[in-house]
Structure formats: structure tokens, C-alpha cells
Amino acid sequence: MSFLAPLRSPSFGEVVAGYRARGELVVQPRMGFADPVHMRQGLLATRSAKAATVGTVTLDSYTRVGDHSSVRTALASGALLNGYPIVDLDPATTLAMLSGVLRPGFPVQVRHGSADPRRIVQTLLACGLHATEGGPVSYCLPYSRMPLATAVDNWRQCCEILAASGPDAHLETFAGCMMGQLCPPALLVALSVLEGMFFRQNGIRCISLSYAQQTHAGQDEEAVSALQDLVDQYIPDARTHVVIYTYMGVYPRTPSGALDLLAESARLAARTGASRLIVKTTAEAHRIPAVEENVTALEHAARAARDVLPLTEVEDTGIYAQARALIDNVLSLDDDLGRALVTAFAHGHLDVPFCLHPDNAGRTRGFLDVDGRLEWSRVGAMPIGDLVSPPSAERMTSADLLTALRFVEQKFDRGSLHLEQGSLT
């Protein structure tokens, strides 16, 4: 059998929509292994899990930054890479790895983290895949020092390349996960919608919008509801769905604490009508998860999401209004969304807390209030000053910052240890 002819992955968007219509939450790992045999085993195990799943091929960090000479050196010497080096492997190797893995109900998404994904996209299309993720802001500001304007141009070309492959091309914005933690939800929601609009303006018709679980379940419910409403308003002519990420910050160290946090993210996705969940495992705080740990996480999340009733009412604390104000301000800057995003960051109208990229103003801050909600302590030049009431003085010391960063970890580990001690008495 020849593996030189590209396979064709089933439509990522259609598969997720089909599961959603049947009331099933799609669960997905971040899985990526350098060895094609190991990668194939991981995909087959994901497909066989007792859950509605889609596959993931996560790329290595050298490929992410375009350091292909280091990839080739590692491949030649047998050194371990932390993901799948799709660009520098013989295409026949990847085609063989995927042969028999792709099924009508099991597409595969390539995840990477690159501010310049053009070669990655060209390669995945050559291998018959057509789903990937990222964005000009979300894969530039946290992960590179590339000028934002350059990343925007790279991602514009990426969208055009992907869109030209056909109607099944799918892009997921990573913007709802910016910096992982301590970014108040309104900015995550606004950035997710803006990157989705950028994709649509540059030819992509099938888009998923991300939101990362934060520190307060009620606030997350409000944020996801706002995201869905804004997507319907601003991207009405695309096929869209919402994807939730299990908490991206410091993860619980106890197995039961990690599983409890994962279950809470699954219930959040089910309650809010999200279609897909990116899971984390009990190994997150310690090392790269094994295949078996990923499967355990997928099945645990699927069980937690079953029979969860949808929300009938969501508290309104202003997340929708803040996000809409941020979006409308960017849209007023330029008809071209790429240029508008660059201008917005240059003026501080978009400003990500704790982000050190040179093109980020760095004048905003978030903090945890007494209820564990993420709120603004400083809004800088963002056009939401009339919608929020930051505290009169800066409250976050370095000790406060460390406490906030470990808030979720300690909350779930304490709960886990409390239950374990109770079972011994």
C-alpha cells in the first residue's frame, strides 16, 4: 500500500456538531509525541476511549519557533523532542502514521503554538489534515518576541492557505486562554471573538472560539454565555462552536484534586452548552502525561459531563458589556481587523495583564477578590473605565501574586486532602 497519496480527515466542525446535536460533549487531549509509532498509539487510544473524542497531534517546541535545524539535529541524534515534528519528518511517515487512524467520526487537529505557522499549515494540508488552532495575538504575545504586525501578516497568509483547501478547513482561536490565568474574563472573551472575526475576514468559514476555565464557576458561566452571544452577533455567517479549556494555570498536585478540577471544567462545558473540552490529566503538575493518563482524563471528563442540566439563568456582572466595548473599539480603528488589532495594542486599547511582549502596553492588572472572582485592579487605556470600578489603590504585592497564582491548585488540593482524611476517620 502506498502512503504517498494524502489521506482526507473528516470535517472537524461537522463531527463536533454531530456530537453536539446528540447531546454529547467532545473531549480532546493535548497529546503529542515525537515518535510516529507512539503518536499513532496515542491517537488510536484516544479514538477507543469511552467518550466522544477527536484526535490531537501537538507539535514540538522547536517547530513552534521555526528552529528546524534543531529539529533535524534531534531527529538525527535520537534526542527526545516534546512533540511531533510534522514539518521535518518525511511526509510519507506522517501519512503512514495517520493511515487507519482517521475515521468518519474521528478527525485530528494539529496544535502547535507558532506565531508563524505557514509551513506547519502547508504540511498538515499535504498530509490530509485541515484543522488547527492559534491566532495572530494568542500565539504571538505569550510565546514569542515577534512584532505583532509580523504575526498578523503570517496568520493572514495562514488563513488564506487553509481557506483555499476547501470548506472543511477549521481554525480554533486560542485567545480565550491568554496567559493562562489572572486575566479577567471580559478581555479573554473579547480577544476570542476578535481573533474569530479575523479568521472569518480572511476566508475561514468553520471556527471554534475558546475560553479557559478560571477561578470562579459562576463567573465562568457568565463569560461563556457572553462569548456565545457575541459570536452570534459578530460572526453570524460562519459555522462556530465554543471550546472550553480545563484550567491553564498552576494545577493541583494530588490526583484526586486534579480529577476534581477536570470534572468541574467538564460540568462547566455541559452547563453552558459548549461543544468541546480540552482536558488536563493528573500528571500536569509533574511531567508530560502518558497515553493511559490522557485516556483516563478523557473518560473522567465525559462521565462528569453526562446528565448535567443546562443553565436557565446566568448572573450579569458586566462581562458582556466590557467585552462588547473592547470589540467595538477595535472595530472602530480600521476596517481591516489585522491592522485594527495592531493599532489597538499600540494604543493600549487591548492590554493583557502580566504579558511582557514589547507590543503589549502592560498597564493593566487583574486580581482575585474575596470570592475568588477575577476582577480589574487597573484598566490602563482600555475603553472600559466607565464599566468597572477598580480599587482605589494597587493591592497586589508579590506575595499576593503568588497566592493568586496558586489559588486553584490549593483550593482543589485542600479539598482532596480533606476528603481523604475524612475517609480515614
Q: What is the pLDDT along the chain (425 residues), one digit of tens a residue?
A: 344 556 677 899 999 999 999 999 999 999 999 999 999 999 999 999 999 999 999 999 999 999 999 999 999 999 999 999 999 999 999 999 999 999 999 999 999 999 999 999 999 999 999 999 999 999 999 989 999 999 999 999 999 999 999 998 999 999 999 876 789 999 999 999 999 999 999 999 999 999 999 999 999 999 999 999 999 999 999 999 999 999 998 889 999 999 999 999 999 999 999 999 999 998 877 788 899 999 999 999 999 999 999 999 999 999 999 999 999 999 999 999 999 999 999 999 999 999 999 999 999 999 999 999 999 999 999 999 999 988 876 667 778 788 888 888 888 888 665 555 444 44
List of residues 6+ apart from 155 with CB closer than 8 A: 117, 134, 135, 136, 139, 198, 202, 338
The 3-state secondary structure of the chain, one letter per residue: CCCCCCCCCCCHHHHHHHHHHCCCCEEECCCCCCCHHHHHHHHHHHHHCCCEECEEEEECHHHHCCCHHHHHHHHHHCCCCCCECCCCCCHHHHHHHHCCCCECCECEEEECCCCCCHHHHHHHHHCCCCEEEECCCCCCCCCCCCCHHHHHHHHHHHHHHHHCCCCCCEEEECHHHCCCCCCCHHHHHHHHHHHHHHHHHCCCCEEEEEEECCCCHHHHHHHHHHHHHHHHHHCCCCEEEEEEECCCCCCCCCHHHHHHHHHHHHHHHHHHCCCEEECCCCCCCCCCCCHHHHHHHHHHHHHHHCCCCCCCCCCCCCHHHHHHHHHHHHHHHCCCHHHHHHHHHHCCCCCCCCCCCCCCCCCEEEEECCCCCEEEEEECCCCCCCCCCCCCCCCCCHHHHHHHHCHHHHHHHHHHHHHHHHHHC
C-alpha cell at 423: 475517609
Beta strand 374-379 with 364-368: parallel, antiparallel or unpaired?
Answer: antiparallel
Residue 74, amino acid: A
The values of phi and psi at residue 49, to 5°, are -60, 155
Residue 407 confidence (pLDDT): 80
Closest listed residue to residue 358, CA positions, set 147, 182, 115, 113? 147
Beta strand 108-111 with 206-212: parallel, antiparallel or unpaired?
Answer: unpaired
Q: For cell 471556527, name the residue.
A: 207
Q: Judge whether 370 and 400 are in contact, CB under 8 Å.
A: no
Residue 175 vs residues 140, 183, 194, 423: alpha-carbon distances, Å: 10, 11, 9, 41
Integer Cα distance of 239 and 3 in angstroms: 32
Cα-Cα-Cα-Cα dihedral sign, residues 286, 287, 292, 296: positive
60 burial type by CB count under 10 A (0-12 exposed, 13-18 middle, 19+ buried): buried
Integer Cα distance of 216 and 268 in angstroms: 11
Residue 123 confidence (pLDDT): 97
Q: Just give the CATH number of 1-425.
A: 3.20.20.240
- Cα 64 vs. chain centroid, distance in angstroms? 15
Per-residue b/e over 308-335, b at no fewer than 16 CB within 10 Å?
eeeeeebeebebbbbbbbbbebbeebee
Residue 291, amino acid: V
Integer Cα distance of 129 and 84 in angstroms: 14
Residue 118 vs residues 112, 114, 132, 134: alpha-carbon distances, Å: 11, 9, 12, 12
Residue 6 confidence (pLDDT): 63
* Helical packing angle, 185-201 and 148-163, nearest 10°: 50
Number of Cβ within a 10 Å radius of residue 5: 9
